[in-house]
């Protein structure tokens, strides 16, 4: 189900963490989201429980473009945040999945909720044809809460960056 894209190797005396890549089909086994709310097409450079990158290709067929806006298609900022949050979920579900003894049951059941959009700055419009490169770095945790730094770019241009808090379990 997963492919190691870089074998763990010792670089300058420091062990490089093993990274994983996940296809769209893999991601559907990791997240409970489905069309039209599955906002991540691929994940790569995933260090389980630590960080990862992902891709969201933005097509004119996205349902939100029908109304946002009829004559001027712009990806809503909150949908960019949703794509970032889904990459975060992939990174922490990967930790359960890639553990030496993976937990039993459906891993997508452990995907929690967005707790806070603590800060977010949008620096570029995202329009049909753009490919969003998503990045997530998990930070400190406290109980079932986890702080994360996230960014999204199109090519070399930053589209959005900020910090979120997510819950890593499903509790009201």
Partner 1 sequence: MSTATFEDVRTQAEQRLEKNLKIKSMIIDRLGLDAEAEVVSDNQPLFGRGLEMDSLDTLEIVVMINNEYDVLISDDDFEAFGSINALVDFIEAREV
Report the interface residues with partner 1, using CB under 8 A: 115-116, 118, 139-143, 145-147, 163, 165
Tokens representing residue 30 in the block: 């990791």
User: Which one from 28, 29, 68, 137 is the annotated catalytic residue?
Assistant: 68
Q: Between 108 and 163, whose beta carbon lies closer to partner 1?
A: 163
CA nearest to 114, candidates 81, 92, 91, 139? 81
CA nearest to 77, candidates 135, 146, 132? 132
Closest separation between CB of residue 146 and partner 1, Å?
8
Q: Between 41 and 135, whose beta carbon lies closer to partner 1?
A: 135
DSSP 123: -
Active site residue 68: yes
Closest separation between CB of residue 118 and partner 1, Å?
6
How many of the other CB atoms lie within 10 Å of CB of 100? 4
Q: What is the set of active-site residues? A: 68
């Amino acid at each position: 189900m997963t492919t190691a894209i870089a074998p763990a190797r010792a670089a300058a005396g420091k062990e490089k963490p093993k990274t994983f890549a996940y296809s769209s089909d893999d991601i559907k086994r990791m997240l409970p989201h489905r069309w039209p709310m599955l906002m991540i097409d691929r994940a790569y450079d995933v260090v389980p429980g630590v960080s990862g990158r992902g891709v969201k290709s933005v097509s004119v067929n996205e349902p939100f473009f029908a109304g946002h806006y009829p004559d001027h298609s712009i990806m809503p900022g909150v949908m960019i945040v949703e794509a970032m949050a889904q990459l975060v979920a992939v990174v922490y579900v990967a930790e359960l999945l890639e553990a030496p003894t993976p937990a039993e049951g459906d891993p997508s059941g452990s995907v929690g909720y967005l707790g806070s959009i603590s800060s977010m700055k949008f620096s570029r419009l995202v329009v049909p044809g753009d490919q969003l490169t998503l990045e997530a770095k998990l930070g400190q945790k406290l109980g079932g809460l986890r702080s994360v730094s996230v960014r999204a770019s199109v090519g070399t241009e930053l589209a959005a960056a900020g910090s979120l808090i997510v819950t890593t379990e499903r509790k009201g």
